[in-house]
Amino acid sequence: MPKVVDPIERRKAVADAVFRVAARDGVENASLRRVAEEAGLAVGSVRHYFTDHAELLSFTLSELNTRVTARIQDQLATLFPDGDPGTTPPPPGHVPGSHAERILVELLPLDEARFEEAAVWLAFTTTARSRPELAPLAAQPLAGVRSLVHRVLSAMVTAGSLQAVDVDLEADRLAAILDGLTLAALADPSRRDPVAMRAILHRHLASLCENAGG
């Protein structure tokens, strides 16, 4: 009896192969043939699940966005099982900014999986300059970071950790710090220090609370 292949899982497996090739060699080298070799499949098998190279790249970038979003949502559900962080009161002994830090570190390349995600995102962002069809998907992570940061800071205001701050301005500032730490880690191996990245994020959140009297 022939083996039944789940088309959704096969497409995700091919996307994994694109991640590896793009992170290692750049999106421009993620041809159908190279991706098929990386996935251990025949080129015809990859073409069976993707009509062309453009669809393969679009699906891969969409899958990257979906995975990062799902991980963030899991973290939010763990920290706030009863609802949104903006409506859930802080638990006894809560340290201002501690929940925010646990959520936001998910956006930093602290381990191999997140480093690969960041490398793939940067590779796709660069490629999107010459592939306009990828631009909307490549822009989603940046917009998602800013949206999540704004949500977290708004929750801190609701919880009383922050007072009298310009949430829009601080969201832009914190998002820029997260983006900068990620880019530095990708560009310079000496800056790829999880302890240092955590410390910078921790210090910035602490300074917000101190300056706001939290």
- Render pLDDT for 99-123 as a digit per residue (tens, 0 to 9): 788 889 989 999 998 998 898 888 8
In this structure, of 24-38, 96-110, 145-159, the range with the lowest mean pLDDT score is 96-110
Residue 187 has pLDDT above 70, yes or no: yes
Band (pLDDT 50/70/90 cuts) for residue 212 is: low
User: Can you tell me the distance from the alpha carbon of 38 to that of 16, in angstroms, rounded to the nearest whole number?
Assistant: 9
Q: Six-digit token pair at 22?
A: 């793009």
Identify the CATH class of 65-211.
mainly alpha
Residue 94 has pLDDT above 50, yes or no: no
In the 8-state DSSP scheme, what is residue 131?
Answer: -
Helix (H), strand (E) counts: the chain: 9, 0
Q: What is the pLDDT of residue 172?
A: 95
Q: At what angle do helices 112-127 and 53-79 cross, to 10 degrees?
A: 140
User: Can you tell me the distance from the alpha carbon of 132 to that of 54, in angstroms, rounded to the nearest whole number?
Assistant: 11
Write the DSSP assignment of 146-188 as a string of letters. HHHHHHHHHHHHHHTS--S--HHHHHHHHHHHHHHHHHHHHH-
Residue 193 has pLDDT above 90, yes or no: yes
User: Can you tell me the distance from the alpha carbon of 157 to that of 189, in angstroms, rounded to the nearest whole number?
Assistant: 36
